[in-house]
Amino acid sequence: MSENPGNPQNSPEYPPTERWELKVSEKPWDSAPFENEPPISAISPDELLRIKRIVPPKLLLETGVDSLEHLVQRDKNAIPAQKDREGYAPFAWRYWASGCLDYLKVISACQRHQLKPHRIFDFGCATGRVLRHFVAANAAAIADEKIELWGSDLNYRHIRWLESYLPEIKAVFNPAIPSLPIEDNFFDLVTAFSVFTHLDTFESTWLCELRRVLRPGGMAYLTIHNEATWEDLRTESSGESGALSRHYQSLVAADTDINTKLAGDLPAERMVFWFNRQGPYGSQVFHATPYIQRVWGRFFEILEILPRHHFHQAVVVMRKPT
């Protein structure tokens, strides 16, 4: 049964602007119908060729995948409409390819660090852009309860989509206040894509919460904006590239002097730019490598920091000490 408590927006006793839920979550009363796109297994040959240009054959080989066509045909699940894809891609094939690429990179990291995850958690999972690939690849193991897939998000609409179309995922609606209804030392692997890039407050608290639910020896795979992202944005500010337009425009909205700042190095070890002061999702956050090593390293063993490993974001791979 869905967690949706109804639609109190129509109640004069609780006008939406005064509801506390809006300050710590997104779309907490969503009930609008979904408009999905067909499964990726129904794509055209031309779209398959475009996916092949995004997913490197070398990565497929490294992770033991026999063919990209096999991955495409195994995914029979609906694709969420563009408005439910967190801005990741205007086309369904590109959305699927971006999730496939991140999925394969996570598997590659697990192989490098000798981890065979059975309980996997994607923090800020949206509509399962990455988790859907774990579902398609592990259908039999999920059915036998040998693999568990969990995801959480502060956007209730995303959780409702997962409940409706990817029931293999245990979906949890979480607030912006650090709290997960999950027991200690539970997961082997925790991922978070484009989450800590927007956590203006409670960063260390969320790190501790992820550490709590991760088992000793378990691995965290988290993305950040780092010095390399800052350098890429400098190119954007000079008009030489359009690849980062959405992020660059949000920085312009946050700081009218951003081009002057971009002309130099990242000004501080941790920088927060607020482009929206309403609700829990309105900032761009940058982390310098020394900050990650010094501050995040208090909670985890830093295994590697991989610049531009998730589009223009860096990936921080960490292990919970045993």
**DSSP per position, 54-95:** HS-HHHHHHTT---HHHHHHH--SPBPPGGGTTTS-SSHHHH
Smallest CA-to-CA distance from 301 within 220, 183, 214 is with 220
Return the pLDDT at 238. 67
Bridge partners of residue 283, in order along the sequence: 274
Domains by residue range for the chain, with CATH: 183-322 (3.40.50.150)
Smallest CA-to-CA distance from 224 within 263, 184, 191, 257 is with 191
Number of residues that make up the chain? 322
Query: Residues 229-238: what's their mean pLDDT?
Result: 86
Token match 């944005």: residue? Answer: 233
CA distance 4 to 192: 25
Return the pLDDT at 247. 84
pLDDT in tens, 313-322: 999 999 999 9
pLDDT band at 16 (very low <50, low <70, confident <90, very high): low
**Residue 124 vs residue 246, higher pLDDT:** 124
Three-class DSSP category at 15: coil
Query: Residues 128-154: what's their mean pLDDT?
Result: 96
Return the pLDDT at 9. 47
Return the pLDDT at 12. 47
Return the pLDDT at 280. 86
* Cα–Cα separations (whole angstroms), residue 154 to 48, 225, 243: 32, 20, 27
pLDDT in tens, 55-82: 999 999 999 998 999 999 999 999 999 9
CA distance 50 to 200: 36
pLDDT band at 15 (very low <50, low <70, confident <90, very high): low
pLDDT in tens, 29-58: 999 999 999 999 999 999 999 999 999 999
pLDDT band at 131 (very low <50, low <70, confident <90, very high): very high
Return the pLDDT at 240. 55
Query: Residues 236-245: what's their mean pLDDT?
Result: 64
Two structure tokens written together for 6: 């109804």
pLDDT at 243 over 60: no
Phi then psi dihedrals of residue 148, to 5 deg = -115, 135
288 Cα distance to chain centroid: 20
* Cα–Cα separations (whole angstroms), residue 291 to 120, 227, 266, 288, 300: 27, 11, 12, 5, 13
pLDDT band at 231 (very low <50, low <70, confident <90, very high): very high
pLDDT band at 156 (very low <50, low <70, confident <90, very high): very high
**Residue 7 vs residue 249, higher pLDDT:** 249
Return the pLDDT at 11. 47
Return the pLDDT at 141. 95
Smallest CA-to-CA distance from 37 within 94, 116, 119 is with 94
Torsion 253-192-107-297 (CA) sign: positive
pLDDT at 124 over 80: yes
Query: Residues 247-256: what's their mean pLDDT?
Result: 90
CA distance 65 to 304: 24
